[in-house]
A and B are shown apart, each in its own frame.
Chain A
């Protein structure tokens, strides 16, 4: 029996269900099976052990669900694609929440089920995992999309029964690599035989990558009419509309909420409602997110901050203040939390016209900022409070640092833009961020020009200064390493310089291990580094 030598993990918040399923699993041969009752326990287990298969209930209580868990562990690269994942769902909770193949369970099983059915399904997905192993081993923790694509082509040439699964993965790899026309051709090939939701959405994504937004929008709307349960289509459409029509994007997320009311989708809706100044709706959505995730794994300062803002924008001062106060109950007391609360309180007090309290709160936030290193969202919150307090220059100083440091992170740049927007400075913000971006490009270009004209030392001084000041800017760190390696190549490798280059490459890997320029820098390092230099772990 195929299941005899496998190791499984069963995740369910209800003890009785764990016992029942555990017995069923044992009766079909899976004796070695650990159990977890929530996401935290499951993650602890995954951190210490390899599992061949995971059986996970969709409803995990505490506002969290199996889909959230699957996406989280894939993103954190805790769950290799070679591990089989079976999602158990109740009949009314039977929702397709699948997005990319990477975030889709291998199969769904509806309750109630017999041990025999459970066994058959598990054997089937394990067989599939085995057949697709040549592809899966290059996706996930060690992504090498070129090798994965080559493995796809090899499998397709063999005409396996899993050809469609391979096509789906290949399409996603092509999209991720930005090869829009190849992806489009692939999805069209599938659609020529028949319609299927993933290929329709894939085609729309390829059209978007092509810049053909209008056609993509029409296709996505038609796809939703035919497949109203296919959540990935709502998400793709909402993302597409986000850039051009936030009101329409909010309506799409509202529709998606009817299909699958996940906590994450409440957050997405709240964010759009805030952007659309629909503060009442934003308050509702964030209140649900905060209530559901009170003890959950995904709770975040950001939800409370957004809830507070939704309230004070409606002049609901006591509600806003209590949202801020609640944070003390639900989070660990850290300098970050204190700074976030103070920055929020400052904004609420300004709304309420209490200048003295606002000033006191702002001072507290600024003191925290000086004494400890805060995360980006807390820094931006302080910038927001500074704008509200009539100190735009101080606010811009913070935003400049954040934007330079996180130049390649679209999400953070968007968050910085939103700070200007909330302060009523939309145009100034766009211009300011554009200038920051250009400055960073110029810094890199100037350094490269200096290096080329022989002034390598000057280039290195510039880049090293920038890389130390901007620890989250992978591009700058890579360029600093490249320049150091060039000098080592020209003047002979000394271990101090090589060590410095090592540090900057490691810095870049920490920020973004998938950075397109990283591969060349790593190869250069390995070529130049003398024996005895620290090896690079990539």
Chain B
């Protein structure tokens, strides 16, 4: 059973989703031919907070010892298609990129050749969307998003950008320092937890890998390796 804190986080998330419905309703009252930028921004903020609450809840449960991943087979190609569609929605709503849209090129050849992998699709989706949004904030022009086989077993999702790379303290530290200027470090902490909680019966674990060997030799490269 969930504790009070978990239940409260969950209530907050439900309230946010109600707020989202009201914002849609407000837009309808304004008339759909007349989209309000402020309402659009407000809607994007509810989506951001909702995602943060999901991460907060997972971290809270991890601390309580009650976080259990729901690992099942997923068709990688379908999964990535859904992920990119969801990313496109938030890009449209968020306006993080300003006037010159950043190009994301993808390498999903491995997904097409290898039908399925077992992982927690829901939680991993938040890790990857976070990392992609973060890359969108820091990239200059390009992001490379790939899925590849990991030598010795496992798969690697890697997100590489052509920005200035991670700050030194993030690369050095194992702790959850800030992932970007406007975030609390929740995202990275969450990503590390979700990565390491992925495990196999033979004892292999998932992990994160952060380097500054991105595009142009200095951009950030975020990798999520799942066993």
Scoring B residues 189 to 227 as 1 if CB is less than 8 Å from chain A, else 0, what string do you get? 000000000011111100000000000000000000001
A230 close to B (CB within 8 Å): yes
Q: How far, in whole Å, are A149 and B176 apart by their CA atoms in the complex?
A: 51
Q: B82 — which chain A residues lie within 8 A by C-beta?
A: 117, 120
Scoring B residues 12 to 40 as 1 if CB is less than 8 Å from chain A, else 0, what string do you get? 01000100000000000000000000000
Q: A92-B10, A94-B122, A164-B115 are in contact. Are A195 and B73 (CB under 8 A)?
A: no
Chain A residue with the shortest CB-CB distance to B67: A228
B96 close to A (CB within 8 Å): no
Q: A96 — which chain B residues lie within 8 A by C-beta?
A: 70-72
* A162-217 CB contacts (< 8 Å) to partner B: 162-164, 194-198, 200
Do B72 and A197 touch (CB < 8 A)? yes
Q: A196-B118, A225-B201 are in contact. Are A112 and B70 (CB under 8 A)?
A: no
Chain B residue with the shortest CB-CB distance to A195: B200
Q: How far, in whole Å, are A228 and B199 apart by their CA atoms in the complex?
A: 10
Do A197 and B71 touch (CB < 8 A)? yes
A78 close to B (CB within 8 Å): no
Q: A92-B2, A194-B117 are in contact. Are A229 and B122 (CB under 8 A)?
A: no
Chain B residue with the shortest CB-CB distance to A128: B75
Do B68 and A229 touch (CB < 8 A)? yes
Q: A195-B227, A223-B201 are in contact. Are A161 and B71 (CB under 8 A)?
A: no
B78 close to A (CB within 8 Å): yes
Do A195 and B68 touch (CB < 8 A)? no
A257 to B: closest C-beta gap in Å: 11
Scoring A residues 76 to 118 as 1 if CB is less than 8 Å from chain B, else 0, what string do you get? 0000000000000001101110100000000000101000010
B98 close to A (CB within 8 Å): no
Do B72 and A226 touch (CB < 8 A)? no
Q: How far, in whole Å, are A485 and B202 apart by their CA atoms in the complex?
A: 57
* B139-179 CB contacts (< 8 Å) to partner A: 153-154
Do A200 and B73 touch (CB < 8 A)? no
B69 close to A (CB within 8 Å): yes
Do A94 and B201 touch (CB < 8 A)? no
Do B199 and A226 touch (CB < 8 A)? yes
Do B70 and A94 touch (CB < 8 A)? yes
Q: B201 — which chain A residues lie within 8 A by C-beta?
A: 195, 200, 219, 222-223, 225-227
A124 close to B (CB within 8 Å): yes
Chain A residue with the shortest CB-CB distance to B78: A124
A456 close to B (CB within 8 Å): no
A259 close to B (CB within 8 Å): yes
* A146-167 CB contacts (< 8 Å) to partner B: 161-164
B129 close to A (CB within 8 Å): no
Do A222 and B202 touch (CB < 8 A)? yes
B42 close to A (CB within 8 Å): no
* B104-159 CB contacts (< 8 Å) to partner A: 115-118, 122, 153-154
Q: B122 — which chain A residues lie within 8 A by C-beta?
A: 94, 110
Do B73 and A164 touch (CB < 8 A)? yes
Do A196 and B73 touch (CB < 8 A)? yes
Do A229 and B71 touch (CB < 8 A)? yes
Do A164 and B116 touch (CB < 8 A)? yes
Scoring A residues 463 to 479 as 1 if CB is less than 8 Å from chain B, else 0, what string do you get? 00000000000000000
Q: A222 — which chain B residues lie within 8 A by C-beta?
A: 201-203
Among B17, B75, B200, B203: residue with most chain A CB under 10 A: B200
Q: A110 — which chain B residues lie within 8 A by C-beta?
A: 122
A170 to B: closest C-beta gap in Å: 15
Q: Which residues of B contact A (CB under 8 A)?
A: 2, 6, 10, 13, 17, 54, 68-73, 75, 78, 82, 115-118, 122, 153-154, 199-204, 227
Q: Which residues of A contact B (CB under 8 A)?
A: 91-92, 94-96, 98, 110, 112, 117, 120, 124, 161-164, 194-198, 200, 219, 222-223, 225-230, 259
Can you spell out 27 A-B residue pairs with CB atoms less than 8 angstroms apart? A91-B10, A91-B13, A91-B54, A94-B122, A96-B71, A117-B82, A120-B82, A161-B115, A162-B115, A164-B115, A194-B117, A194-B118, A194-B153, A196-B71, A196-B116, A196-B117, A197-B72, A198-B73, A225-B201, A226-B71, A226-B199, A227-B201, A228-B68, A228-B69, A229-B69, A229-B70, A230-B71
Extra pairs beyond A194-B118, A222-B202, A229-B68 (20, CB < 8 Å): A91-B54, A92-B2, A95-B70, A96-B71, A112-B17, A120-B82, A161-B75, A164-B115, A194-B154, A196-B118, A197-B71, A198-B73, A223-B201, A225-B201, A226-B71, A226-B199, A226-B200, A226-B201, A229-B70, A259-B68
